[in-house]
Amino acid sequence: MRTIVTAVLLLLALTVITGLLYPLAVTGVARLVLPRQANGSLVELDGRLIGSELIGQPFAGAGYFWGRPSATGPFPYNAGASSGSNLGPTNPALLERVRADAKRIQAAHPSQGPVPVDLVTTSGSGLDPHISPAAALYQVERVAAERHLEPAALRRLVERHLEGRTFGLLGEPRVNVLELNLALDRMVE
């Protein structure tokens, strides 16, 4: 009987520690150290919530920069279903989807050459809000033509939204598509 009581008390103690105290401590530290990210990095436009800058948003119009495809299914992004694809690199369904996306993107950018890989491949989470600088610059001509803007002005806008490596050494330079498109909308207002 003593062993059962000890086991139950240990179960209750570990449940409180790992199920309540630890999550509260991690959340508290996150809110102190990274308050914007811990609270969802929500973005408002004209007083209405349009999404999080940490989750890829669907932009399909010709007058916007396009982000990476979503691994959680076709647009719109499904933030409740974060996951990468289970399709391997030689899977025929994945190859066909990538070919179709590349063909669609090349048709929208006929004089640009090969499509940057991040415009046709998903990220590990399937919700990445960033594209490479090359993918953003690849789209400048299309967006400029659609918005009746000078391509040089859009290139400068992309360069202003370029984020460097995290801590100067982790990851690759990137551009947040939501922030870039919001700046684009402000630019033409």
Whether 33 and 98 map to the same domain: the answer is no
Whether 25 and 105 map to the same domain: the answer is no
State how beta strands 48-52 and 162-163 pair: unpaired
Question: What range does the domain containing 31 cover?
Answer: 1-39
Whether 33 and 55 map to the same domain: the answer is no
Report the C-alpha gap between 59 and 67 in whole angstroms: 7
Q: Output the pLDDT for position 73.
A: 58
What DSSP letter does each residue of 132-162 carry, written as one string? -HHHHHHTHHHHHHHHT--HHHHHHHHHHTE
165-176: pLDDT as tens digits: 988 889 899 999
Whether 92 and 108 map to the same domain: the answer is yes
Question: What's the total number of domains in the chain?
Answer: 2
Per-residue DSSP letter, 184: H
89-119: pLDDT as tens digits: 888 988 998 999 999 999 999 888 899 999 9
54-102: pLDDT as tens digits: 777 778 788 999 988 877 655 445 444 555 667 788 889 889 989 999 9
Which tokens sit at 157? 């806008």
Burial status of residue 87 (CB atoms within 10 A of its CB: 0-12, 13-18, 19 or more): middle
SS3 state at 98: helix
Whether 90 and 104 map to the same domain: the answer is yes
Which candidate, 133, 135, 139, places its Cα nearest to that of 108?
139
Whether 54 and 132 map to the same domain: the answer is yes
Whether 2 and 90 map to the same domain: the answer is no
Q: What single-letter amino acid sits at 49?
A: L
Whether 15 and 101 map to the same domain: the answer is no
Q: Whole-prediction pTM value? A: 0.73
Q: Output the pLDDT for position 24.
A: 95
pLDDT at 122 over 90: no
SS3 state at 81: helix
Whether 153 and 70 map to the same domain: the answer is yes
Whether 21 and 50 map to the same domain: the answer is no
Question: What percent of the chain lies above the pLDDT cut of 70?
Answer: 84
Whether 119 and 165 map to the same domain: the answer is yes
Looking at 6-10, 15-19, 53-57, 140-144, which range is the least confident one? 53-57
Whether 16 and 94 map to the same domain: the answer is no
